[in-house]
Amino acid sequence: MESYFLDWANLLLRWVHVITAIAWVGSSFYFVFLDSSLTPPVDEDLKRQGVSGELWAVHGGGFYHPVKFAVSPPQLPSHLHWFYWESYSTWLSGFSLFTISYLWSASTYLIDKSRMDWAPAEAIAVALGFLVVFWLLYDGICRFFGQRKNGDAIVGGLVLVLVCVAAWLACHWFAGRAAFLLVGAMIATSMSANVFFWIIPGQRTVVGQIKAGLPVDPIHGKRGKQRSVHNTYFTLPVLFAMLSNHYSFAYTHPQNWLILIGMMFAGAAIRQFFVMRHGHKLGRNPHPWPYAAAGVVVLLGLIAWLRPAPVAPTVVTAQPAVVGYEQIKPVLAERCYLCHGEQVQMKNVRLDSPEQVQAHAQAIYQQAVVSKIMPMNNATGITDAERALIGAWFQGGAKTAP
């Protein structure tokens, strides 16, 4: 019954997480586009008010005219919309999902004993440490180097090194799928922390200064903008990490950390192309095609590198011409009942009866034979011969009755 409720919690939290992430990424992308597309105001009244940029747009049958005040507006409106719950809701739902999907069952999903033979409590503590330590190091880099000459380039280079080190450690310490997700969660935590510790407090300080009739310190806007720009470059790498659990060929590779770094680099480069493209249309910078080209080259290189080598057909000795349920039942009992038997039903799946095996035949074949995702991290030590036996059973009709 516990696994049944965990499945429902997983489903609902994943649904909420996707919805809130769409809202956060959508608003973030829009404001990055807006900042890159603003033009100096033409109207003299807007100039007198202190407007630094404006944009005319058409959408959904209406015309829109957003304007930006470089430091502060002449007066605050009665209603001011704040963009922060998109970020907070995304992190809260994501961390909750990470907890029930990986931390709750750390021995199954987080730990790969062939890499590190953690106790569950140790693995959980180290995983949580990734979230905290990365934020502290990243924040320290931004504080120390962010305001220096060429600070953006220095920060970018150091953060790249930091991500590479974290990816290497995660992929050597944790199960591949968990490692990819952990690196994504680590970066996403810093994105939300940027909003919580820097962007929103800076905005609240500015609003407080305006209400008190004090001069507005522009440093708060500059710092908030810097962290917001970092977040937009983090977005595509994080999205890849969150989607990677569907593609075992990436996270099960012996050099999975290189794949993770390559995909994240490609995502950041392609994001840079889109960020700069808006400014290029207004003549503010050269065409950013080299960034897109670099991202595509990395992707093509990964595709070429990971292509499967031709494999000669394997012959499984002593395998019956027609494989029936009785032949695969001992394999299921030894390799699958631990998580899908009478005591535990992960994902609400039982495989300890002919009827249940028949109902899940397609999934068994896909998970155990084609993608080889199950058993998770091969915790029960299934052999290639046993996978081939299940494959022969499925190809022969997946029969469970004589």
Q: Which of 31, 76, 32 is nearest to 206 (CA)?
A: 76
114/350 Cα distance (integer angstroms): 27
Confidence of residue 291 (pLDDT cuts 50, 70, 90): very high
CA-to-CA dists, residue 69 to 66, 72, 85, 107, 232, angstroms: 10, 6, 23, 53, 21
**293 contacts 362 by C-beta, under 8 angstroms:** no
Structure tokens at 267: 């995502």
**264 contacts 271 by C-beta, under 8 angstroms:** no
34-37 contact pairs (CB < 8 A, 24+): 34/66, 34/68, 35/68, 35/225, 36/275, 36/276, 36/278, 36/279, 37/278, 37/279, 37/281, 37/282
Structure tokens at 390: 């299940």
Amino acid at 235: T
Q: Where along the chain do its domains lie?
A: 86-306, 325-395
Q: Say what the pLDDT of residue 362 is.
A: 83
CA-to-CA dists, residue 25 to 96, 108, 191, 244, angstroms: 19, 31, 11, 18
**Mean pLDDT, the chain, whole residue set:** 89
Please state, as a whole number, how many other Cβ atoms lie within 10 Å of the Cβ of residue 124. Answer: 18
**Omega within 30 of 0 (cis) for the link into 77:** no
| pLDDT tens digits for range 218-260 | 899 889 999 999 999 999 999 999 999 888 889 888 999 999 9
Confidence of residue 2 (pLDDT cuts 50, 70, 90): low
Structure tokens at 376: 């998770």
Q: What is the 3-state secondary structure (H, E, C) of the chain?
A: CHHHHHHHHHHHHHHHHHHHHHHHHHHHHHHHHHHHHCECCCCHHHHHHCEEEECCEEECCEEECCEEECCCCCCCCCCCCCCCHHHHHHHHHHHHHHHHHHHCCHHHHHCCCCCCCCCHHHHHHHHHHHHHHHHHHHHHHHHHHCCCCCHHHHHHHHHHHHHHHHHHHHHHHCCHHHHHHHHHHHHHHHHHHHHHHHHHHHHHHHHHHHHCCCCCCCHHHHHHHHHHHHHHHHHHHHHHHHHHHHCHHHHCCCCHHHHHHHHHHHHHHHHHHHHHHHHHHCCCCCCCHHHHHHHHHHHHHHHHHHCCCCCCCCCCCCCCCCCCHHHHHHHHHHHCHHHHCCCCEHHHCCCCCHHHHHHCHHHHHHHHHHCCCCCHHHCCCCCHHHHHHHHHHHHCCCCCCC
Amino acid at 31: F
Confidence of residue 285 (pLDDT cuts 50, 70, 90): confident
| pLDDT tens digits for range 125-161 | 999 999 999 999 999 999 999 888 888 899 999 999 9
Q: Say what the pLDDT of residue 150 is.
A: 85
41/43 Cα distance (integer angstroms): 6
> CB under 8 Å to 166, separation ≥6 — which residues?
130, 134, 183, 186
| pLDDT tens digits for range 296-318 | 999 999 999 998 877 666 555 55
| pLDDT tens digits for range 317-370 | 555 568 888 888 888 888 888 788 877 777 678 888 888 888 888 888 888 888
Average pLDDT in the 5-23 region? Answer: 90
